[in-house]
Amino acid sequence: MGWFDKHCEKCGINVDKNIAPRRFGKYFCSDEHAETYAKEVEEMRKNMPQQKSSGGCC
Protein backbone atom coordinates (compact mmCIF):
# COMPACT_ATOMS: atom_id res chain seq x y z
CA MET A 1 0.00 0.00 0.00
CA GLY A 2 1.28 3.44 -0.90
CA TRP A 3 0.63 7.12 -0.41
CA PHE A 4 -2.53 7.13 -2.47
CA ASP A 5 -4.40 4.30 -0.75
CA LYS A 6 -8.09 4.91 -0.16
CA HIS A 7 -9.86 4.27 3.11
CA CYS A 8 -13.54 3.99 4.01
CA GLU A 9 -14.65 7.37 5.30
CA LYS A 10 -16.79 5.71 8.02
CA CYS A 11 -14.59 2.92 9.40
CA GLY A 12 -11.12 3.52 7.95
CA ILE A 13 -10.67 0.11 6.32
CA ASN A 14 -8.55 0.02 3.13
CA VAL A 15 -10.68 -0.04 -0.03
CA ASP A 16 -9.99 -0.60 -3.72
CA LYS A 17 -10.99 2.69 -5.35
CA ASN A 18 -11.78 0.88 -8.62
CA ILE A 19 -14.69 -1.01 -7.06
CA ALA A 20 -15.50 0.88 -3.85
CA PRO A 21 -18.81 2.77 -3.60
CA ARG A 22 -18.31 6.53 -3.70
CA ARG A 23 -20.39 9.45 -2.42
CA PHE A 24 -19.45 13.14 -2.38
CA GLY A 25 -15.94 12.22 -3.58
CA LYS A 26 -15.34 9.88 -0.63
CA TYR A 27 -14.74 6.13 -0.81
CA PHE A 28 -16.50 3.48 1.30
CA CYS A 29 -16.13 -0.23 2.06
CA SER A 30 -19.84 -0.93 1.49
CA ASP A 31 -23.02 0.59 0.11
CA GLU A 32 -24.33 0.66 3.67
CA HIS A 33 -21.51 2.93 4.86
CA ALA A 34 -21.88 5.08 1.72
CA GLU A 35 -25.61 5.56 2.32
CA THR A 36 -25.10 6.30 6.02
CA TYR A 37 -22.55 8.97 5.14
CA ALA A 38 -24.85 10.46 2.46
CA LYS A 39 -27.69 10.71 4.99
CA GLU A 40 -25.40 12.43 7.50
CA VAL A 41 -24.30 14.96 4.87
CA GLU A 42 -27.91 15.67 3.89
CA GLU A 43 -28.83 16.21 7.55
CA MET A 44 -25.95 18.66 7.98
CA ARG A 45 -27.03 20.53 4.85
CA LYS A 46 -30.61 20.80 6.12
CA ASN A 47 -29.40 22.24 9.42
CA MET A 48 -27.08 24.84 7.86
CA PRO A 49 -28.36 28.41 7.79
CA GLN A 50 -29.43 29.45 4.32
CA GLN A 51 -27.77 32.46 2.71
CA LYS A 52 -30.03 34.91 0.98
CA SER A 53 -29.07 35.98 -2.50
CA SER A 54 -28.64 39.68 -3.17
CA GLY A 55 -29.64 39.14 -6.78
CA GLY A 56 -26.12 39.57 -8.15
CA CYS A 57 -23.80 36.95 -9.53
CA CYS A 58 -21.70 36.72 -6.37
Report DSSP letters for 3-32, one per residue. TT-EE-TTT--EE-TTTS-EETTEE-SSHH
Does 58 map to a domain? no
Does 56 map to a domain? no
Does 54 map to a domain? no
What pLDDT is attached to residue 3?
59
Does 1 map to a domain? no
Answer whether 0.75 is exceeded by the pTM. Answer: no
CA distance 29 to 11: 8
Cα end-to-end span (Å), the chain: 43
pLDDT tens sequence across 9-53: 999 999 999 999 999 999 999 999 999 999 999 999 999 887 776
Does 20 map to a domain? yes
What pLDDT is attached to residue 50?
76
**Segments forming the whole domain that contains residue 36:** 6-46
Domain count, the chain: 1
CA distance 10 to 36: 9
CA distance 9 to 45: 18
What pLDDT is attached to residue 32?
97
